[in-house]
Amino acid sequence: MKRFNVAVLPGDGIGPEIVGEALKVMKAVGKKFSTEFVAAEALVGGASIDAYGKPLTDEVLKLALGSDAVLLGAVGGPKWEGLDYSIRPERALLALRKELGLFANLRPAKIYDELIDASTLKPEVIEGVDLLVVRELTGGLYFGTPKGVEKLPDGTERGVNTMVYTTPEIERIARVGFEVARKRGKKLCSVDKANVLETTELWRKVVINVGKEYPDVELSHMYVDNCSMQLIRNPRQFDVIVTENTFGDILSDEASMLTGSIGMLPSASIGSDKNRAMYEPIHGSAPDIAGKGIANPIATILSAAMMLKYSFDMNEASDLIEGAVERVLARGFRTADIMQPGKTRVSCVEMGAAVLKELGN
């Protein structure tokens, strides 16, 4: 029997509801593969502020650092919006990412045939889309120095941000891109603006060098402006996209909206250390529907599937979960957010149960 320790941080709003269903699915799949997931649950975000006065306690950070992976629901809500930024629920996520050394954000965007109408794009454009954006998370414009706004002698102001990347920073994110591509369709598109920005000229050079270690992965390059067009013109051409922080922020949101359904999209944040990773849905805590039992747990269930693939090398188990989700949709089960005429409306718990049933439970 294999064992993995998972820190489970449900957070706020719909967090506890959706994480509860994902945990059931993980445990059921674990049994099939003689693997035990030992879940240690703890408070984070607003729930932690209410109990301990801060969004992330040292104990919970220690728990996350000592686990094989973290499963997170979502944090935040109107109750904590008036608080100072330094103790807002979202601070917990930033602190966790920093302390766990998570420099790569993985966001898949997959179109389910059954939900093709949820997209704003034409079905013939998005049918079969299955891509993943790897975004660098800790460097580039958002962190580079010098930064800030200064007053000039003539009374005007000057704002500065700096896009900085070093060779090691590019190498490590490129490696994530290649490794992820290896687990998928073996195609990697590196996105830069090497025709204008020297930083990304270096980016391209380093990615090409790292690519020599991955002859089985087909590497291509694309300028970011072209990529933003290609994502809506012909998104099927992409398997894995790897890009720097700011470009990735924008492109991953654009890619996720190809699908049109926020309750379906998982994400992973990973680092160099195999035992440090955090998995969470891309949506927030949805305070408007919290406690009503109608949240869609699929994004969180698919986040758990990503955990199995990327943290525990359980590809087959991960595919099993994805297959079960597809079949549940094909059977016509829908939570309120993805409801369509003629389909069967189910609650959060019922959706979880439907996935479990597909897994033979």
Q: Residue 233: CA atoms inside 13 Å, Cβ hemisphere, count?
A: 6
Looking at 110, 165, 192, 193, which residue is catalytic?
Answer: 193
Looking at 165, 192, 249, 279, which residue is catalytic?
Answer: 249
- Is 279 catalytic? The answer is no
Total number of residues that touch ligand NAD (CB under 6 A)? 22
**Whole-angstrom distance, CA of residue 10 vs CA of residue 60:** 12
**Whole-angstrom distance, CA of residue 259 vs CA of residue 252:** 12
Of residues 217 and 289, the one with the C-beta less far from ligand NAD:
289
Q: Which stretch binds ligand NAD (CB under 6 A): 180-188, 223-231, 287-295, 319-327?
A: 287-295
What are the beta bridge partners of residue 150?
A: 158
Q: Which of 190, 269, 296, 311 binds ligand NAD (CB under 6 A)?
A: 296
Rg over CA atoms, the chain: 21
First-to-last alpha carbon distance for the chain, in angstroms, is 20
Question: What SS3 class is residue 198?
Answer: helix
Q: Which stretch binds ligand NAD (CB under 6 A): 74-82, 127-135, 271-279, 351-359?
A: 74-82
Is residue 174 within the footprint of ligand NAD (CB under 6 A)? no
Is residue 76 within the footprint of ligand NAD (CB under 6 A)? yes
Is residue 96 within the footprint of ligand NAD (CB under 6 A)? no
User: In terms of DSSP bridges, do strands 130-136 and 344-345 run parallel, antiparallel, or are they unpaired?
Assistant: unpaired
Is residue 318 within the footprint of ligand NAD (CB under 6 A)? no
Question: What SS3 class is residue 201?
Answer: helix
Looking at 50, 113, 253, 313, which residue is catalytic?
Answer: 253
User: Interior CA angle at 295 toward 346 and 279, to 5°?
Assistant: 125
Single-letter residue type at 323: G
User: In terms of DSSP bridges, do strands 266-270 and 2-11 run parallel, antiparallel, or are they unpaired?
Assistant: unpaired
Q: Which of 125, 115, 165, 176 is nearest to 337 (CA)?
A: 115
By beta-carbon distance, which residue lies closest to ligand NAD? 284
Whole-number minimum distance, CB 96 to ligand NAD, in Å? 11
Is residue 266 within the footprint of ligand NAD (CB under 6 A)? no
**Whole-angstrom distance, CA of residue 172 vs CA of residue 136:** 9
Is residue 285 within the footprint of ligand NAD (CB under 6 A)? yes
Is residue 56 within the footprint of ligand NAD (CB under 6 A)? no
Whole-number minimum distance, CB 10 to ligand NAD, in Å? 11
Interaction residues for ligand NAD, span 9-48 (CB under 6 A): 14, 18
Six-digit token string for 154: 């003539």
- Is 337 catalytic? The answer is no
Q: Which stretch binds ligand NAD (CB under 6 A): 48-56, 97-105, 291-299, 321-329?
A: 291-299
Is residue 248 within the footprint of ligand NAD (CB under 6 A)? no
Exposed/middle/buried for 53, CB within 10 Å: 0-12, 13-18, 19+?
exposed
Of residues 191 and 264, the one with the C-beta less far from ligand NAD:
264
Length of the chain: 361
Is residue 75 within the footprint of ligand NAD (CB under 6 A)? yes
Whole-number minimum distance, CB 252 to ligand NAD, in Å? 13
- C-beta separation of 113 from 127 below 8 A: yes
User: In terms of DSSP bridges, do strands 266-270 and 277-281 run parallel, antiparallel, or are they unpaired?
Assistant: antiparallel
Looking at 50, 113, 225, 319, which residue is catalytic?
Answer: 225
- Is 253 catalytic? The answer is yes
Whole-number minimum distance, CB 271 to ligand NAD, in Å? 18
- Is 249 catalytic? The answer is yes
Q: Which of 176, 162, 265, 266 is nearest to 217 (CA)?
A: 176
Question: What SS3 class is residue 187?
Answer: strand
Is residue 337 within the footprint of ligand NAD (CB under 6 A)? yes
Is residue 288 within the footprint of ligand NAD (CB under 6 A)? yes
Of residues 115 and 125, the one with the C-beta less far from ligand NAD:
115
Residues that bind ligand NAD (CB under 6 A): 14, 18, 74-77, 90, 93, 262-263, 280, 283-289, 295-296, 299, 337
Name the residues annotated as catalytic: 142, 193, 225, 249, 253
